[in-house]
């Protein structure tokens, strides 16, 4: 497969969503119910009085839909999640949009979510899927002040693995069109942008190691570090991924399946690396710590090698850490997007601008090269999660949800 050929450019009782609370964008940002002091205003399109109603172009919005629901807590996605065929299409409230999802993003943490690791107090059944891109097909009265039916939007909110999702207008980002590339920026892009900006202290000539560099978030860490004029080293598991990394500017790629990453780093960077964007964990984490330069910093983004374990963890040589860090005045800093809401809007704006100007590759993997082909429909979310955990993806894994038959959108 040639990645350049496939590149496009280049509520139910869901647990609280953890990585978004943004200022209004598509939003009406109207007063909350309680502050109106009265009864609930009636949404513009009130689905409650009718089994079916028409959207703005006459396409029918059904009363029921397919969605994925976590029915059992497990890090095994297939065991945890059930495809429900006949869930009611949710009603948008006064400040809400009803979004018909067209593309939904797969994240490594979907299995942490299905295992209940985000909010241990919530019990199944609950909705799953962190992010989506789609069209607004209905909306509440307050939401209509700034948003219209037919608007393309992206959002980060739990419950995107569904044909329709209710999204508070405040959390929706208006888009020029419905494209999967926009989805790559919502979680993966902003994670790289904010963490490197806030914690990376990048400057010209610094050596930056990115692990899982060809993946959803890794691809952005590579490109953003290059934009800061750093020397970028990326790990990956195939020559094809290495080729992709070269194409986005990565200076040095290391195939962790065929090369000893630590030896290569010791040989080629005897002084060590200044910054590590680390999302793999286990042995990769240990060798990355060993490879830090004096005053180097490892940004801890994740530890995917542990997520499939019952504990969610992967052993590391923790007892050696204090000595290793002290000897080099080095540091490890954790980063969790959820804690950086205040930076989110600015980061997304910058990334969208870079993409519009053609300065950023937003690689999407729609599964065309996966054994059973393109990820189409909610049924294929299971395959898409497997594909990620086989380490096969190049760029962000995205599942396309086909249009409903009657849609004229």
Residues that bind ligand NAP (CB under 6 A): 107-109, 187-188, 191, 212, 214-218, 235-237, 241, 279-280, 301-302, 304-305, 335-337, 388-389, 391, 393
Least Å distance between CB 61 and ligand NAP?
Answer: 31
Query: In terms of CB distance, is 18 or 56 closer to ligand NAP?
Result: 18
Q: Phi first, then psi: what are they for 306, rounded to 5°?
A: -95, -15
- Least Cα distance to 334 among 290, 286, 288, 302 occurs for 302
Which CB sits closer to ligand NAP, 107 or 144? 107
Measured from the CB atom, is 47 or 186 closer to ligand NAP? 186
Nearest to ligand NAP of 228, 236 (CB atom)? 236
State how far Cα 293 lies from the chain centre. Answer: 30
- Considering beta carbons, is residue 170 or 396 the nearer one to ligand NAP? 396
DSSP string, 260-301: -HHHHHHHH-TT-EEEEEE-S-THHHHHHHHTEEEEEEEEE-
Place of tokens 């037919």: 150
- The residue (of 136 and 337) whose beta carbon lies closer to ligand NAP is 337
In the complex, the smallest distance separating the C-beta of residue 117 from ligand NAP, rounded to whole angstroms, is: 11
Q: Pick from 40, 58, 24: which is nearest to 150 by CA?
A: 58
Instruction: Give CA–CA dist 371/262, Å, rounded.
Output: 32
Least spacing, CB of residue 365 vs ligand NAP, in Å = 8
Q: How far is the CB of 107 from ligand NAP (least distance, A)?
A: 4
- Tell me how far, at minimum, the Cβ of 368 lies from ligand NAP, in Å: 16
Between CA 132 and CA 130 the distance in angstroms is 7
**Cβ at position 366, least distance to ligand NAP in Å:** 13
Q: Which of 155, 209, 154, 199 is nearest to 178 (CA)?
A: 154
The closest of 81, 130, 80, 83 to 109, measured between CA atoms, is: 130
Task: Please identify the residue of the shown chain whose CB is closest to the bound ligand NAP.
Answer: 215
Burial (0-12, 13-18, 19+ Cβ within 10 Å), 266: middle
CA nearest neighbour of 87 among 164, 17, 8, 166: 164
User: How many Å apart are CA 44 and CA 207, to the nearest integer?
Assistant: 54
243 CB-near residues (< 8 Å, 6+ apart): 3
Identify which of residues 164 and 303 has a Cβ nearer to ligand NAP in the complex.
Answer: 303
Instruction: Give the three-class secondary structure for 345.
Output: helix
Q: Least Å distance between CB 96 and ligand NAP?
A: 25
Say how far apart CA 158 and CA 338 lie, in whole Å: 13
Cβ-based nearer residue to ligand NAP, 382 or 389: 389
Minimum CB distance to ligand NAP, residue 292 (Å)? 19
Helix (H) or strand (E) holding 11: none
Q: Which two tokens stand for residue 252?
A: 């040095």
Cβ closer to ligand NAP: 66 or 283? 283
Contact 228, 195 (CB under 8 A): no
Burial class of residue 46, CB neighbours in 10 A (0-12, 13-18, 19+): middle
Taking the complex as a whole, how short is the minimal distance between the CB of residue 239 and ligand NAP, in angstroms? 11
Q: Residue 355 CB, nearest distance to ligand NAP (Å)?
A: 17
Q: Which is nearer to ligand NAP, 25 or 191 (CB)?
A: 191
């Amino acid at each position: 497969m040639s990645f350049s050929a496939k590149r496009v450019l280049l509520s139910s009782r869901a647990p609280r969503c953890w990585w978004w609370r943004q200022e209004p964008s598509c939003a009406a940002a109207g007063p909350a119910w309680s502050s109106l002091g009265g009864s609930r205003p009636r949404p513009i399109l009130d689905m409650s009085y009718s089994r079916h109603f028409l959207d703005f172009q006459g396409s029918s919005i059904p009363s029921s839909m397919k969605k994925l629901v976590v029915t059992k807590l497990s890090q095994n996605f297939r065991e945890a999640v059930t495809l429900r065929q006949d869930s009611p299409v949710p009603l948008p409230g006064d400040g809400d949009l009803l979004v018909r999802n067209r593309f939904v993003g797969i994240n490594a943490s979907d299995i942490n979510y299905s295992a209940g690791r985000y909010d241990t107090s919530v019990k199944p059944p609950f909705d799953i899927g962190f992010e989506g891109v789609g069209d607004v097909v209905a909306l509440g009265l307050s939401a209509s002040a700034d948003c219209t039916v037919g608007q393309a939007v992206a959002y980060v909110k739990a419950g995107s693995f569904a044909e329709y999702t209710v999204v508070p207008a405040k959390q929706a980002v208006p888009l020029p069109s419905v494209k999967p590339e926009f989805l790559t920026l919502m979680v993966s892009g902003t994670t790289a942008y904010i963490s490197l900006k806030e914690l990376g202290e990048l400057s010209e000539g610094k050596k930056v190691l990115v692990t899982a560099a060809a993946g959803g978030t890794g691809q952005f860490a590579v490109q953003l570090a290059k934009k800061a004029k750093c020397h970028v080293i990326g790990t990956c598991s195939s020559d094809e991924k290495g080729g992709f990394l070269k194409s986005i500017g990565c200076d040095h790629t290391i195939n962790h399946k065929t090369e000893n990453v630590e030896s290569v780093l010791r040989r080629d960077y005897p002084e060590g690396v200044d910054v590590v964007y680390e999302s793999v964990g286990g042995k990769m984490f240990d060798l990355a710590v060993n490879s830090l330069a004096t005053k180097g910093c490892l940004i801890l983004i994740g530890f995917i090698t542990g997520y499939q374990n019952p504990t969610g963890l992967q052993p590391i040589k923790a007892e050696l850490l204090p000595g290793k860090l002290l000897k080099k005045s080095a540091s490890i800093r954790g980063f969790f997007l959820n804690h950086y809401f205040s930076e989110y809007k600015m980061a997304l704006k910058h990334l969208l601008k870079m993409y519009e100007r053609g300065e950023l590759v937003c690689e999407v993997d729609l599964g065309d090269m996966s054994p059973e082909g393109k990820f189409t429909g909610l049924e294929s979310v299971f395959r898409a999660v497997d594909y990620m955990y086989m380490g096969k993806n190049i760029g962000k894994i995205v599942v396309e949800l086909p249009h409903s038959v009657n849609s004229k959108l």
